[in-house]
C-alpha cells in the first residue's frame, strides 16, 4: 500500500441486494489486509441473512439505532459508538430501529471481495450460524 488520503464520494453510493446502501471507502488489491465501507440502512429495513467466508468483519455504528442478530448471540440493540465483532462465516443481519438512517462502517479483514459473500436468507443456519 502507498500513502494516500481517500475522500468519501457520496455519489459513489450503490444499493445492494442485501437491502442496504454501500460506499467503498477503501478496498483495493494493493491493500489486501483490510477494507472499509460505509453502510446505510433505511428506517424499518432489515438486511438479508448473510455471512462472509474466510473474512472477519467489524461494524462501527456511526448514526442511528439498530437491532443486530449475529451468530449465537441473542438479538441486541446497537447504537452510536458500538463496535460489533463478526467472525468469519458467522451469520448476520441488522434492522434499523430508528426514524433516520442507520449508518455504520464495515471493516473487513482480509479485504472484502464479492466471492466471500454468501446470502443465506432463505436458509439461515441454526444456533450460532457458523459454517
Residue 116: other Cβ atoms inside 10 A: 17
Q: What pLDDT score was predicted for residue 125?
A: 52
- For residue 124, the model assigns a pLDDT of 55
What's the mean pLDDT in 100-129?
Answer: 86
What are the extents of the domains in the chain? 18-119
Is the pLDDT reported for residue 103 higher than 80? yes
pLDDT interval class at 128 (50, 70, 90): very low
Identify the residue with better confidence: 122 or 36.
Answer: 36
- The confidence score (pLDDT) of residue 2 equals 85
18-119: CATH number: 2.60.120.10
pLDDT of residue 38: 98
Q: What does the pLDDT look like over 46-78, one tens digit per residue? A: 999 999 999 999 999 999 999 999 999 999 999
The DSSP code sequence of the chain is ---------GGG-EE-TTSSEEEEEE--TTSTT-EEEEEEE-TT-BPPPEEETT-EEEEEEEESEEEEEETTSPPEEEETT-EEEE-TT--EEEEE-SSS-EEEEEEEES---GGGEEE-TTSPPSTT---
The answer, yes or no, to whether residue 126 has pLDDT greater than 80, is no
The confidence band for 123, taking pLDDT boundaries of 50, 70 and 90, is: low
Amino acid at each position: 500500500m502507498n500513502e494516500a488520503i481517500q475522500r468519501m464520494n457520496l455519489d459513489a453510493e450503490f444499493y445492494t441486494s442485501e437491502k442496504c446502501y454501500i460506499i467503498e471507502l477503501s478496498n483495493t488489491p494493493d491493500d489486501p489486509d483490510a477494507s472499509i465501507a460505509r453502510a446505510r440502512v433505511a428506517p424499518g429495513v432489515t438486511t438479508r441473512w448473510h455471512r462472509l467466508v474466510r473474512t472477519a468483519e467489524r461494524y462501527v455504528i456511526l448514526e442511528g439505532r439498530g437491532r443486530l442478530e449475529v451468530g449465537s448471540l441473542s438479538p441486541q440493540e446497537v447504537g452510536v459508538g458500538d463496535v460489533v465483532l463478526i467472525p468469519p462465516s458467522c451469520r448476520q443481519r441488522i434492522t434499523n430501529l430508528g426514524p433516520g438512517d442507520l449508518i455504520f462502517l464495515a471493516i473487513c479483514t482480509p479485504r472484502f471481495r464479492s466471492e466471500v459473500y454468501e446470502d443465506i436468507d432463505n436458509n439461515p443456519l441454526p444456533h450460532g450460524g457458523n459454517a
